[in-house]
Chains A and B, each alone.
Chain A
Amino acid sequence: MDDEQHTNEHDESSDTKREEKPSERPPAGEAVGDAQAPAGAPHPESAPTPEAAREASQQRSGRLPESSTSPTTPTSPPAKEGEKQPAAAGSARPAGGARPAPRGAAAPQVPTWIDLEELKRLLGEGVEAVENQWGTPVVTVQADQLLRIAEKLRDDERFRFDFLTTMTAVDWRSYLETVYLLQSYEYPTHHLTLKVSHLDSDNPRVPSVTGIWEAAGWPEREAYDLMGIYFEGHPDLRRLLLPEDWEGHPLRKAYDYID
């Protein structure tokens, strides 16, 4: 199954014809299952991803992002980074795909607009972690609960997060993470960062939030383009900034950008 998905993925990255998109994508349930790993737990690198298949497609695409599961073959960019600052290198690349150590240790604790425990209670199940980052609550949720929580955040009287300022993704080397920066037109000082973490680097799939915020359309396309994340249910998932025949996803940390 995974093998098949894998080939699909690379076919899709070069294929931009809109109408063929939805049918080619595997059912949502399978993909979300990968991302359902509990927070902090090692990334499911035990997922049966045959090395052979990856290498085969790597040769085909030429610039496939280095997988986190092959730490023995570091690519050149991280090596450069390491030379420049050995001290920071360790934290920049969390080992084994674990979430980086609790962040914000040195950061000033600005109070957020809502008590984090209460926020967790209000959002219900599916919340993996809640943090305070410079006064902004950062909520990490499970992929399969994303749509429910997003809708709640948009519609609930307490939140009214009807303004998706932007949506982006972060490559934590062993896994990917999508980040939704929320704001409210009604309470403009309220910010909230919604995250779906621990996405499989080889086949990252997240439900698209375009049905909740239409503003997500282009940012999701951008994240698909530059990070290679598949947004299930996106009406028009094509490359946005790069040419249609571009190979690879440049914002991945392991992207080999030397031509």
Chain B
Amino acid sequence: MIDFFSQPTNLWFVVIAFLTLIASLGVVAGEKVMHLALNLGGSFAGVAALFVLLQSPFLAIAQVLIYVGAILVMILFGLMLTGAHATEPTGVETGKKVTVATAVIVLTALTIWGVYGSAGRWPVVPSGLDTSLTALGQALYGHWGVAFEAASTLLLAALVGAIVVSRREDDEA
């Protein structure tokens, strides 16, 4: 443990991780929807900072660009369009809270078991990987080309599906 903190990066990691956790807790425990959204933004930003510490600036920037710059803004935009509901407490029932908390604990346990229990079985990515744009582009469109396109199609399908669903609701109204 002593040698963990001797590295400055690790100290930063602890600080940022702590802040990210607080923000994430805020997302779960907050009262107003708007506050939840802002806390979500905080946890996104925290994750981005962790990526910086892991020497992956591109991932960090993508995190900010997509999650903070686009998704969160869309969420906020949606909240504002719904007007009054954003200002009211969410009012989740206690039963649901218990269920969610149980699920979270179980999932966390599973993750910890997965990481530590499987130590050594999975290949560890060597550090010093080429994270330049050229390398990234070649990996995305070359080696992982099929997977990338499949993911794109899935997202597109989800998008179209969302529109269809919202339209049907609209017709019923």
Any A–B CB pair closer than 8 Å:
no
Residues of A participating in the B interface, judged by any CB pair closer than 8 Å: none
